[in-house]
Amino acid sequence: MKAVVIRRYGSAEVLQYEDVAQPTIKPDQLLVKIHASSVNPVDWKIRQGMLRSLIWKKFPLILGFDLAGEVVEVGSAVKDFQPGDAIYGSTALPGGAYAEFAAVSANLVAPKPTNLSYEQAAVVPLAALTALQALRDQGNIHSGQSVLINGAAGGVGIFAVQIAKAFGTEVTGVCSTKNLDVVKSVGADKVIDYTQQDFIKDTSSYDIIFDVVGKRSPADCKRVLKPNGIHITTLPNAESFVQSILTTFLPGQKVKFILEKPNTKDLLYLKDLIEAGKIRVVIHRTYPLPELAAAHTESETERAVGKIAIAVTNI
């Protein structure tokens, strides 16, 4: 089969499109013919070697976590899927979705939303699960709250705005000038152009601040966080982590960090929201698998609106 492989850490040039052996499955796995994948920052952070302490497998590596495709073989212990099923979901570390086939644990995938194409479905899992688990599980989000999403036009941010609205909250999205209309279009009640206004100097305060991009420390945000409010951030850097520990917050205020945990139950939850029209997908651009290096390079600019999709096969 064709796949994109890395044999060392480095720039996007280390991504090589070549022939590799098709994987075999374990009893609890599915063999999936992948129609589409996507690019997430974690993919190129692994490629650069930034997360090497988390990756124990030896080279060569096939990266890529998100996938949507068709089940072609079912492990002997799998009961809920059969060949021909259209599915979407995630691979386990260190990836494997940048390929024509992947062996995937059955508890990391779910039936594909019926109203999405494979490319649309493939950009959902990691980003939307991150948003859902951050807001619902870490933020204890509920109707009537005020929520601010910093980085509202990015892959996670677009989903976070829509998921927060699905919970019946008032949502403020922070983004750049050129993305104000996109963030409004996915449901934000208010948008703040960070090039013109600093949200931490605003008079508004919020029950939840979800800093998707990790650009503002918890210390910066505490004055606009309500008593008992929760500040959530993804993959904190060392500086923000230390600041969060040393910062004195008002009684009841909390800082929480989120790292997405793929699972079938939450993918089914997202599927219901998508099929009900409460979440729509925004794709910045689609690249064919042989052009994955260009897709990584664009993602690394951190200027993509929504997600970058990877077309593995032509459907």
- 10-residue mean pLDDT profile of the chain (315 residues): values are 97 98 98 98 94 83 98 98 98 95 98 98 97 96 98 98 98 98 98 96 94 86 92 64 49 69 97 98 98 98 96 84
- pLDDT at position 286 is 98
Same domain for 143 and 245, yes or no, is: yes
Same domain for 27 and 146, yes or no, is: no
- pLDDT at position 268 is 98
Q: What is the pTM of this model?
A: 0.93
pLDDT single digits (tens) 104-128: 999 999 999 999 999 999 999 999 9
> Distance between CA atoms of 42 and 50, rounded to whole angstroms?
9
Same domain for 116 and 153, yes or no, is: no
- pLDDT at position 156 is 97
Domain assignment of residue 180, yes or no: yes
Same domain for 214 and 145, yes or no, is: yes
Count of the separate structural domains present in the chain: 2
State the DSSP string of 102-123.
Answer: EEEEGGGEEEPPTTS-HHHHHT
The boundaries of the domain holding residue 226 are 127-258
Residue pair 209/232 in contact (Cβ under 8 Å)? The answer is: yes
- pLDDT at position 245 is 47
Query: Any bridge partners for residue 283, and if so which?
Result: 307
pLDDT single digits (tens) 254-302: 677 667 899 999 999 999 999 999 999 999 999 999 999 999 999 999 9
> Distance between CA atoms of 137 and 150, rounded to whole angstroms?
18
Same domain for 86 and 137, yes or no, is: no
- Of 64, 67, 240, 239, the closest CA to residue 150 belongs to 240
Same domain for 239 and 211, yes or no, is: yes
Same domain for 303 and 239, yes or no, is: no
Same domain for 144 and 80, yes or no, is: no
Same domain for 120 and 210, yes or no, is: no
CATH code assigned at 208: 3.40.50.720
280-285: Cβ within 8 A, 24+ apart: 280/162, 280/186, 281/116, 281/120, 281/123, 281/124, 281/306, 281/307, 282/158, 282/182, 282/186, 282/306, 282/307, 283/119, 283/120, 283/123, 283/307, 283/308, 283/309, 284/308, 285/309
Same domain for 105 and 192, yes or no, is: no
Domain assignment of residue 263, yes or no: no
- pLDDT at position 257 is 67
